[in-house]
Amino acid sequence: MKYLPCEDEEVHKLIQEEQARQEQTLSLIAAENIAPLSILEAAGSVFINKTVEGYSGARYHAGSRCADALEELTVRRAKQVFGAQYANVQPHSGTSANLAVYLAALKPGDTVLAMSLSEGGHLSHGHPLNFSGQVYRFYHYGVDRHTEVIDYDQVEMLALRHRPRLIVAGSSAYPRLIDWQHLRSIADRVSAHLMVDMAHISGLVAAGVIPSPVPHSDFVTSSLYKTLQGPRGGFILARQEFGPALDRAVFPGCQGTPILPLLAAKAVCFKRATTPQFVQMQYQVVRNAQALAHALGEHGLRLVTGGTDNHLVLVDLRNIGIKGNEAEAALESVGIVANRNLVPYDPEKPTITSGLRLGTPTVTNRGMGEGEMRAIADLIAETLTNMGDDAVISSVRDRVRALCSQFPMPGWATLPGAAWANLKP
C-alpha cells in the first residue's frame, strides 16, 4: 500500500495486522474464503466514485455509461453461471437479497415456512430479532432428532397446516444435500412459492459439484464471499416473470445506490466461477470436508448427521464434555479459527452452544488437500483434549504456524508490505 500509510497510519496498521492474522492462522470458518487479488482490485477500483440509481438504461444520474455496461455484464454472467432466467446483482448482502425477495413476494403479515435457526437456518429466515421475524408470520421446520437430516414429512405437515405463501430453504450449518425437488413438490401442494437461500453453497452449485436449486425454485438468493470466493454482497436469481417485482423491491424498495466497485468484483467472481480451476477447487473443498470429517470421527468426535456432503462439518462436542464457546476459544489460542454453533436440539444458548462448525473453503484455497485435513483434525483433537496443558497447546500452536507457512495465502507474496515476517497475528 502506497497512500494509506501516509494518510492514515491507524487504519493501515489494522489492515496489516489483519493480513498477518489471516496468513498465520488456519481459518475453518465455513462462511469465509480467500478472494483472489483480481477481486480485491475490482473492489478497490474507481467505480467507488460513481453514483447511480435505478437500472441500466433507466438511471437517475448522468455519466452512467460504464456503470450500465458493468451491470449488464454482471447480470449476464450471473445468469450464465447458474442457468437462471433473471438476475439482480445489486443487493448489498445476502440478507438484503432475502429482504428484497420477501418484499417482492409477500405482504406484511403473510405466512412463511423456513428452516429453524437452531437447526441450521439463518437469522433472515424469520428470527424474532430480525426484520423478517417482525414483519412476516414465520413458522419453522427442523431436522429429524435421530437422522439429523431435514424432516420433509414435518415440512409437508407444517405447510398443509399453515398454508404459507413462501417456503424458504437453505441454511448456515447443514452439512447434507437438500432435496430441492421434494421441497418444490411440497410448495406446489400448497400453492406456495419456493425461495432457496444458497449463500453457503453457491460455489459448489456454480461448479456443478452439488445439485442446483435454480431449476426448482421461484427465487434463489446468495451472498458471494463464502464458497463462491467473491466479494461482500448478494444477488438474486429468479424466473423471468418475477423480474419486474424483484427489480422494484431492490430499488427503490429497500436500497438506494448499488455499490459499483462490488458489482465489478461480482462480475469477476462470476467469470472465475466458469473456469476449470474453480470447478476443481470446489470438488477439492468437498473432498477436504469429507476427509476432515472422517479424521475427526476417528478421534471420537461426534459429527452431526455422521459426516458431510458439502463444505462444512458440524461437530457435537457433548461426548467430550466441552461447550462450543470453550472449543472456539481453545482453538483460537493455537491459531485455528472456527466458530461455535448450535447443534440440532441443542440445550445450550446460541452464545454458548454444544457444537463447532468447521469449513474447508479457505484451507483448500491455500492449496491443502486430504493429508493436511487429517493433520488439522489431529491438531483440533489434541487441542480439545488437552485444554489447560500449556506444553501441548504451545506445541500445537507451533505446528499450526508451520502449516500456515507451508501453505501461504495464494498470490499474497506479491502484495505490497506482505505482513508475514514481522507482525503478530
Ligand X SMILES: Cc1ncc(COP(=O)(O)O)c(C=O)c1O
**Interface residues toward ligand X, by CB under 6 A:** 31, 93-95, 122, 124, 170-172, 197, 199-200, 223, 234
C-alpha cell recorded at residue 336:
485455528
3-state secondary structure 160-200: HHHCCCEEEECCCCCCCCCCHHHHHHHHHHCCCEEEEECCC
CA distances from 297 to 116, 150, 323 (A): 26, 22, 18
Q: Give least dist CB 206 to ligand X, A.
A: 16
Of the pair 178, 381, the CB lying nearest ligand X is at: 178
d(CA 58, CA 64): 10
Q: Nearest to residue 210, comparing CAs of 177, 166, 181, 173?
A: 177
Phi, psi of 218 (to 5 degrees): -85, -40
Kindly report the number of other CB atoms within 10 A of residue 367's CB atom. Answer: 14
Of the pair 23, 218, the CB lying nearest ligand X is at: 218
Q: Give least dist CB 223 to ligand X, A.
A: 4
Q: Which residue has the cell 414435518?
A: 154
Of the pair 24, 223, the CB lying nearest ligand X is at: 223
Q: Give least dist CB 123 to ligand X, A.
A: 8
Q: Give least dist CB 361 to ligand X, A.
A: 13
d(CA 313, CA 28): 10
Angle (CA) 103 107 108, round 5°: 100
Q: Give least dist CB 225 to ligand X, A.
A: 7
Beta-ladder partners of 337: 27
C-alpha cell recorded at residue 155:
415440512
Of the pair 233, 379, the CB lying nearest ligand X is at: 233
Of the pair 20, 155, the CB lying nearest ligand X is at: 155
Of the pair 164, 234, the CB lying nearest ligand X is at: 234
With 0-12 / 13-18 / 19 or more C-beta atoms within 10 angstroms meaning exposed / middle / buried, residue 6 is exposed
Of the pair 134, 406, the CB lying nearest ligand X is at: 134
Q: Give least dist CB 321 to ligand X, A.
A: 29
Q: Give least dist CB 213 to ligand X, A.
A: 12
Residues 374, 403 contacting (CB under 8 angstroms) = no
Q: Give least dist CB 224 to ligand X, A.
A: 8
With CB atoms as reference, the residue minimizing the distance to ligand X is: 94
Q: Give least dist CB 121 to ligand X, A.
A: 7
The type of residue at 349 is: K
Helix (H, G, I), strand (E, B) or coil at 34: coil
Of the pair 139, 407, the CB lying nearest ligand X is at: 139
Of the pair 171, 310, the CB lying nearest ligand X is at: 171
Q: Which residues of 37-68 are buried (b: 16+ CB within 10 A; e: fewer)?
A: eebeebbebebeebebebbbeebeeeebeebb
Of the pair 355, 372, the CB lying nearest ligand X is at: 355
Q: Give least dist CB 66 to ligand X, A.
A: 26
d(CA 363, CA 369): 8
Angle (CA) 398 403 406, round 5°: 125
